[in-house]
Amino acid sequence: MKFLALMAQSLLWLTVAASPTLAGLILGFILSMQAGDLYSLTVPLCGFVGFMIGGLWAERIRKTIGLSSFLGRLMGMRELRDSDKNR
């Protein structure tokens, strides 16, 4: 059972960290297209910076309010919001 809980928490963590990663990849692609050199290290470097920012953000959320609570609030799931008030 602990393995399944760890997998669920890992997927939630990656969900939170994926948003800044995608933003970094898009920014890197736009910058490399502006420079005219698509095969440079701009795209992976911006993606890595986005992943680092996303990882720090996901850890902060995990330690403060919890990943499932955060994503529940983000999606507007009333059941998860009510369970936070009961704690």
Residue with the larger pLDDT of the pair 37 and 2: 2
Percent of the chain with pLDDT over 90: 57
Task: Summarize pLDDT for 47-82 with one digit per residue, the tens.
Answer: 999 999 999 999 999 999 999 888 888 887 666 555
Q: Which two tokens stand for residue 19?
A: 């948003």
* 8 Å CB contact between 74 and 58: no
Average pLDDT, the chain: 87
* Amino acid identity, position 8: A
The whole-angstrom separation of Cα 35 and Cα 32 is 5
Each domain of the chain, given as residue ranges in start order, spans 10-86
Q: Identify the CA nearest to 19 among candidates 50, 49, 59.
A: 50
Tell me if residue 25 falls in helix, strand or coil.
helix
pTM value > 0.85 = no
